[in-house]
A and B are shown apart, each in its own frame.
Chain A
Amino acid sequence: MRTAIVERPLAPHDLVGEVADPSCGAVTLFVGTVREVNDGRPVTGIDYSAYGAMAAEELERIAEEAVRRFGTPRLVVEHRIGTLTLGEASIAIAVAHPHRAAALDAQRFVIEEVKRRVPIWKREHYADGTRGWVDPTRTATGVTP
């Protein structure tokens, strides 16, 4: 299990290699990226900022909970902070498990808990030149990468 808050571009496929194992019949990868529209407004980029020490601790706690709950220690989460442009990855979660249901459930658990608990904030850059903090509860599907 490994978690990290980083300030460099993510390499999501490397995380797959990190968790994959012959004992695991399922490997899942979730990548959250900066999309071009949010709440109907054209987005050009996002500033991710964090309460660093607490974010790292909370991310670690979430991963540990996932390991205990879903029975897989083969889990890696990286969240990037800093200024990201369209299409860049802000978070990558790789999970490997002998069985697909648990792998998918663990991944879903991690991303939902990250959104709910990790003190990382997003300030969107809009095409009209303005910027604004994202309300984390206002999403189309309940999740905002």
Chain B
Amino acid sequence: MVLSVLCFASWGDALGSVVAVDIPEGATVAQLIEVLGARVLPGLQLPEPMIAVNRRYAIARPSFGRVTRSR
């Protein structure tokens, strides 16, 4: 299935504001993050993204937190 992913802040700068992602049915948020991360330029450090699906956070207790992703 093809998802339309809206990206903001540093992720938006890195990937563009709207990204089409082809992902298997039943895929998890973690898998989506991996797919997005694979599109980021090597060496570019981005914070761990907060993911919302249909305008609801995909984790129980969302918090804009810092888990640095580096490739």
Contact = CB atoms under 8 A, between A and B. Distances in A.
Interface residues of A, number: 16
A117 interface: yes
Interface residues of B, number: 15
A115 B50 CA distance: 13
Contacts of A57: 55
A117 B62 contact: yes
Interface string B37-66: 000000000010010100101000011111
A137 B66 CA distance: 6
Contacts of B6: 51
B62 A116 contact: yes
A70 interface: no
A123 B64 CA distance: 15
A137 B8 contact: no
Interface of A: 49, 51, 53-54, 57, 115-117, 119, 121, 123, 133, 135-138
Interface of B: 6, 8-10, 13, 47, 50, 52, 55, 57, 62-66
26 contacts: A49-B9, A51-B6, A51-B52, A51-B55, A53-B55, A54-B52, A115-B64, A116-B62, A116-B63, A116-B64, A117-B57, A117-B62, A117-B64, A119-B50, A119-B52, A121-B8, A121-B9, A123-B9, A133-B9, A133-B10, A135-B47, A136-B64, A137-B64, A137-B65, A137-B66, A138-B66
